[in-house]
Amino acid sequence: MTAVTLSDRNSGRRGDSFLSVQNLHVSFQTEDGVVKAVDGLSFEVEKGTTLGIVGESGSGKSVTNLAILGLHNPDHTEIDGEVWFEDQELIGASRTALENLRGNRIAMIFQDPLTSLSPYHTVGRQISEVYRKHKGASRQEARGRAIEMLERVGIPNAKTRVDDYPHHFSGGMRQRVMIAMALVCDPALLIADEPTTALDVTVQAQVLDLLKDLQQQTGTSIILITHDLGVIARTAHNVLVMYAGRAAERGTVRDILRSPRHPYTWGLLSSVPRLGSSVDVPLTAIRGTPPSLLDPPPGCPFHPRCDYVEQAKPELCLHERPDLSPETGHGDACYLTLKHKQEIFAQIKERP
């Protein structure tokens, strides 16, 4: 499952991954200036796998994925870079081309299923209209398909519930409806933007298991955006750690959780409570606050919060932007040497 891909810098496209994002820049015009929400991000998603994108709020996770689908506000958003999906360049694609992709080949589910579903339409209608739009199905066929999808996501009495409105469902059931709606056209890629954040912990697990099951049945690739490393551990194959609109670390879920190399990833892992550890031991938080993207720090964007600048190369950390290295496989954007990283992480693991 390692993201071993061939580099072909000239075309900007890599290997056989069917979604490839290359050097993506997204910036917003605001009254205070230009916000660089995504600043030179590259990643790939392979068929049938789940890529977990993890990072703090404002690290550019959601913006990246809205940009892939062209769902940003074109009036004050500037996008640069390449997004290849199934041999199609999505940046700069026509409106109709994007409309034909959305909900059809690439689907999306959002954080809060209550506000993300229309309160004015029955769930059946909201599901079937996607199917009708993209597959040209008749009203009857689409309704049948909607019932089938509701059954597949585990909604009891789908035949009668198809005519209910979202407010008739509980939070977890609503998210199942969202998933049914997203998967109705058998998309090749599902972008799930914090799909479990608004749900109860027990329901979270159910929804994640459902996504996993559906992925096994349909072979859909998933981009799972989250700030919850527990979710990552449970569902992702590959992980991209984002910080300040850039990639901090990339690797398989094993790489990231077992042998993380970036100080930011260490920070994220140390701030997760562990079952079995004493409740008296305080969690280690990452000191400081995320940088303002209006005026990001020069050099490594993480350096103002990093404890290891002195052990790396201060002149580089403070002045030179690090890129992911190596370019494929388990890579991280940090100037510490690999040996240093292994030693430091071993020490961190020793801490109670």
Partner 1 sequence: MLRFLTRRTLGAAVILLIIAAVTFFLFFAVPADPARLACGKVCPPETLAQARHNLGMDQPIFVQFVTWLGGIFVGRDYEGLGHCPAPCLGYSFVNHAPVFATIVDRMPVTISLTIGSAIIFLVFGVGTGIIAALNQGKPLDKIASVSSLIGASVQIYFVGTLAMYFLVYQWQVIERPQYVPFTDDPLQWAYGLLLPWIVLAIIFTANYTRMTRSTMVEQMSEDYVRTARAKGMSSRAVILRFALRGTITPIVTIFGIDVASLIGGAIITETTFSLQGIGRLSIQAVLNSDLPMLMATVLLAAAAIVVFNVIVDALYAVIDPRVRLS
Q: What is the rounded distance in angstroms from the CA atom of residue 70 to the CA atom of residue 90?
A: 8
Q: How many residues bind partner 1 (CB under 8 A)?
A: 29
104-123 residues in contact with partner 1 (CB under 8 A) are 104, 107-108, 110, 112, 115-121
Per rule CB under 8 A, is residue 165 in the interface with partner 1? yes
Q: What are φ and ψ of residue 112, in 5° steps? A: -105, 105
Looking at this protein, which amino acid is placed at residue 194?
A: E
Single out the residue of 19, 90, 101, 293 in contact with partner 1 (rule: CB under 8 A): 101
Q: How far is the CB of 304 from partner 1 (least distance, A)?
A: 33
Residues 6+ apart with CB under 8 A from 79: 24, 25, 26, 67, 72, 91
Residue 97 near residue 86 (C-beta atoms within 8 A)? no
**Crossing angle, helix 171-183 and helix 123-135, to 10 degrees?**
10
Q: How far is the CB of 185 from partner 1 (least distance, A)?
A: 9
Per rule CB under 8 A, is residue 95 in the interface with partner 1? yes
Which span sits near partner 1 by CB under 8 A: 46-54, 92-100, 142-150, 256-264? 92-100
Nearest to 105 by CA among 13, 195, 218, 15: 218
Per rule CB under 8 A, is residue 351 in the interface with partner 1? no
Q: How far is the CB of 215 from partner 1 (least distance, A)?
A: 19
Q: What is the rounded distance in angstroms from the CA atom of residue 231 to the CA atom of residue 225?
A: 10
Residues 6+ apart with CB under 8 A from 278: 352
Nearest to 71 by CA among 48, 103, 119, 39: 103
Residue 146 near residue 182 (C-beta atoms within 8 A)? no
Q: How far is the CB of 57 from partner 1 (least distance, A)?
A: 17
Nearer to partner 1, 3 or 53 (CB): 53
Single out the residue of 56, 80, 82, 99 in contact with partner 1 (rule: CB under 8 A): 99
Which residue is it, tokens 């599901």?
127
Nearer to partner 1, 134 or 261 (CB): 134
Per rule CB under 8 A, is residue 124 in the interface with partner 1? no
Per rule CB under 8 A, is residue 69 in the interface with partner 1? yes
Nearer to partner 1, 11 or 115 (CB): 115
Per rule CB under 8 A, is residue 141 in the interface with partner 1? no
Query: Using CB under 8 A as the criterion, what x/- string covers residues 25-64 for binding partner 1?
Result: ----------------------------------------
- SS3 string of 137-204? CCHHHHHHHHHHHHHHCCCCCHHHHCCCCHHHCCHHHHHHHHHHHHHCCCCCEEEEECCCCCCCHHHH
By CB under 8 A, name the binding residues for partner 1.
69, 71, 75, 95, 99-104, 107-108, 110, 112, 115-121, 129-130, 133-134, 165, 167, 178, 181
